[in-house]
């Protein structure tokens, strides 16, 4: 059987797709996996802020459309790029075992007043400014290699990227500091790879599903879904295995509300009620 696995075409995305393909082949030695690179809206426009391109999901929409149309048999995504609710007709058949969910500071060992930090994430921006209000946080987009290069070209003191992506690309040496998830709460699903199929075809990837990763990421996504976060909403959620930590903040870090507990919906309600 040949399984067409759709993925973004960046080096990180294809690396993650190969990891997924290897897991699928190990579970089914008779399976032949063919990678199908697909360009998304987020890949085509690398200059505009995410909110000007579309809502959350700018890196998955075209891949999901290809899956629904039958041009591919399965999609592989960074779970953090997905919308917080499943698209009609599609389902997440598997989450691969999660890697480091933390955010990484590249170029410096810590934050200090006056530093110029690059990131396109409003979630990261809000929390960075809450940790150090005297930072200058500047927009920075592009794939991992591009952002690392732009740090030097623009004379930035540091940039913030996902630790898992750097680890998967063999770029861990670029990391000066890994933020503890309690220090800088990650994006829902960060560090996890999701395999998406058409509803009813979950068996295609069921053998590679990591139950603990699914439990944690499902709770994170449920919390964010209840808050109704789009790309421009500084919202974060992370389950450490014991409980869920969720956060909502002002984009400039002027205020942050954080809650911890077991019920994703209850936490979301508490956060919404606490917004100034």
Indicate the pLDDT class of residue 103, thresholds 50, 70 and 90: very high
**Which pLDDT does position 83 carry in this prediction?**
83
**Which pLDDT does position 270 carry in this prediction?**
93
Average pLDDT of the segment spanning 166-193: 97
Q: Which domains does the chain carry?
A: 103-178 (3.40.190.10)
- pLDDT above 70 as % of the chain: 93
Average pLDDT of the segment spanning 139-152: 95
Q: Is the pLDDT of residue 52 over 60?
A: no
**Which pLDDT does position 53 carry in this prediction?**
36
**Which pLDDT does position 54 carry in this prediction?**
43
**Which pLDDT does position 56 carry in this prediction?**
52
**Which pLDDT does position 209 carry in this prediction?**
98
242 is catalytic: no
Q: Is the pLDDT of residue 40 over 90?
A: no
**Which pLDDT does position 50 carry in this prediction?**
47
Catalytic: which of 81, 100, 103, 209? 81
Tell me the DSSP string of the chain. -EEEEEE--SHHHHHHHHHHHHHHHHH-TT-EEEEEE---HHHH--SS-HHHH-SS-TTTHHHHHHHHTTS-SEEEEEGGGS-SSPPTTEEEEEEPPP----EEEES-SS--TT-EEE---HHHHHHHHHH-TT-EEE---S-HHHHHHHHHHTT-SEEEEEHHHHHHTT-GGGEEEEPPTTTSPPPTTTT-EEEEEETT-GGGTGGG--HHHHHHHHHHHHHHHHHT--TTS-EEEEE-SS-EEEEEE-TTSS-EEEEEES-HHHHHHHHHHH--
**Which pLDDT does position 46 carry in this prediction?**
52
pLDDT tens per residue across span 237-275: 999 999 999 999 999 999 999 999 999 999 999 999 898
- Least confident range from 15-29, 36-50, 140-154, 233-247: namely 36-50
pLDDT tens per residue across span 222-240: 999 998 844 456 899 999 9
Q: Is the pLDDT of residue 187 over 80?
A: yes
pTM for the complete prediction? 0.92
């Amino acid at each position: 059987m040949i399984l067409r696995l759709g993925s973004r075409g960046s080096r990180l995305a294809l690396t993650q797709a190969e990891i997924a393909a290897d897991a699928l082949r190990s579970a089914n030695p008779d399976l032949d996996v063919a990678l199908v690179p697909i360009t998304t809206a987020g890949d085509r426009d690398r200059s505009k802020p995410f909110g000007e391109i579309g809502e959350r999901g700018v890196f998955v929409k075209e891949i999901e459309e290809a899956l629904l149309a039958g041009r591919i048999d399965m999609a592989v995504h960074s779970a953090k790029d997905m919308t917080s609710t499943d698209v009609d007709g599609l389902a997440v058949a598997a989450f691969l075992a999660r890697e480091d969910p933390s955010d990484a500071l590249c170029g410096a060992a810590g934050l200090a007043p006056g530093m110029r930090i690059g990131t396109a994430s409003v979630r990261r921006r809000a929390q960075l400014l809450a940790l150090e209000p005297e930072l200058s946080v500047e927009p920075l987009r592009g794939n991992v290699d591009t952002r690392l290069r732009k740090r030097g070209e623009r004379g930035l003191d540091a940039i913030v990227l996902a630790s898992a992506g750097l680890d998967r690309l063999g770029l861990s040496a670029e990391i000066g500091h890994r933020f503890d998830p309690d220090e800088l709460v990650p994006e829902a699903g960060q560090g996890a790879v999701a395999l998406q199929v058409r509803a009813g075809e979950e068996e295609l990837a069921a053998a590679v599903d990591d139950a603990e990763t699914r439990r944690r990421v499902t709770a994170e996504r449920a919390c964010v879904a209840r808050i109704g976060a789009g790309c421009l909403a500084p919202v974060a959620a992370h389950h450490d295995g014991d409980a869920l930590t969720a956060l909502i903040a002002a984009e400039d870090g002027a205020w942050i509300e954080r809650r911890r507990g077991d019920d994703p919906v209850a936490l979301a309600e508490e956060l919404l009620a606490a917004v100034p």
